[in-house]
């Protein structure tokens, strides 16, 4: 039986890659954000996960506006990163876990989710940068499963729908017969708006509320409509959906190991959150 050991949430703006490429990790503007990953590295070194399930939003690389799936899952043996021109140079291909991907796809379809399965899938900064931050030497010790949520083309899935997606992913992982240790990532956000009259908008109060609720009361975040989230977090702040889905996938007793909030990184409310997940059976035995 697979063991979902925890969840990680992080901002993924392309300029993080530019900062890495330029060696700016100790620059005062960036240092608090990069320093947050010391705790992540310690956790990964201690737990040594085998698989990373990455829940993120594609920015037009694999899914463009003419064909934008609400939910899609990569089902390949490797995933290549394509450089978008302003972030980190192209990284080595990421190893996939096609068998686990198909298990998740079949499980989600049985749970009445309509899933687009992608046997060829390019990954952009929303996928590659979090893994680069986790493993700075770019030697990937984990196999990966990319899961995308549409946060670009309206109509968007609701926060509640993404929470239920995460729960269904968690059930699929719990039913996987392998013995792998699995970490679930939710990437994007927090508050930011890149266009229009509110370009540069950041809502620190709402971001801090999200950081608290995602740990202690995630269902509270599902009460917000998409319109309310856009008003509170900016048009790109709907990437919060990926954090909500990540949290839903943690089916056991969840505890916070680390949280950092640093404003701004590239006009974004930059945040890092690390959660430990005690397996459901272990959590029930402890009660």
> How far are the Cα atoms of 24, 29, 168, 197, 230 from residue 54, in angstroms, in the given order?
25, 27, 15, 32, 23
Dihedral of CA atoms 181, 121, 72, 13 in degrees, nearest 10, equals: 80
The residue to which tokens 């699995």 are assigned: 182
DSSP-based three-state secondary structure for 176? coil
Q: Do 8 and 134 meet the contact criterion of CB atoms below 8 Å apart?
A: yes
Other Cβ atoms less than 10 A from the Cβ of 93: the count is 14
Q: Are strands 253-262 and 270-278 parallel, antiparallel or unpaired?
A: antiparallel
Q: Which residues pair with 173 in a beta bridge?
A: none
Rg (CA), the chain: 17
Q: Do 134 and 18 meet the contact criterion of CB atoms below 8 Å apart?
A: no
C-alpha 199/C-alpha 108 separation (Å) is 37
> Which active-site residues does the annotation give?
125, 192
Q: Which residues pair with 9 in a beta bridge?
A: 186, 273
């Amino acid at each position: 039986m697979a063991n979902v050991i925890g969840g990680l949430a992080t901002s993924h703006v392309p300029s993080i890659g530019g900062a890495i490429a330029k060696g700016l990790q100790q620059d005062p503007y960036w240092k608090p954000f990069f320093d947050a990953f010391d705790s992540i590295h310690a956790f990964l070194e201690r737990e040594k996960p085998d698989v990373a399930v990455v829940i993120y939003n594609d920015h037009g690389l694999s899914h463009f506006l003419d064909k934008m799936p609400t939910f899609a899952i990569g089902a390949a043996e490797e995933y290549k990163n394509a450089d978008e021109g302003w972030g980190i140079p192209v990284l080595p291909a990421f190893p996939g876990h096609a068998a686990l991907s198909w298990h998740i796809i079949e499980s989600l379809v049985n749970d009445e989710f309509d899933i687009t399965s992608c046997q060829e899938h390019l990954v952009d900064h929303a996928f590659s940068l979090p893994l680069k931050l986790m493993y700075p030497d770019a030697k990937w010790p984990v196999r990966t499963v990319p899961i995308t949520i549409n946060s670009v083309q309206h109509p968007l899935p609701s926060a509640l729908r993404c929470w239920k997606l995460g729960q269904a992913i968690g059930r699929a992982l719990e039913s996987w017969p392998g013995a792998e240790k699995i970490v679930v990532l939710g990437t994007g956000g927090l508050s930011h708006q890149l266009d229009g009259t509110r370009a540069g908008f950041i809502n620190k109060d709402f971001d801090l509320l999200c950081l608290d609720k995602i740990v202690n009361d995630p269902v509270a975040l599902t009460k917000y409509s998409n319109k309310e989230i856009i008003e509170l977090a900016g048009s790109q702040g709907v990437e919060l959906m990926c954090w909500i889905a990540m949290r839903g996938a943690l089916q056991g007793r969840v505890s916070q190991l680390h949280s950092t909030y640093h404003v701004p990184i590239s006009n974004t409310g930059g945040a890092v959150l690390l959660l430990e997940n005690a397996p459901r059976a272990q959590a029930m035995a402890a009660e």
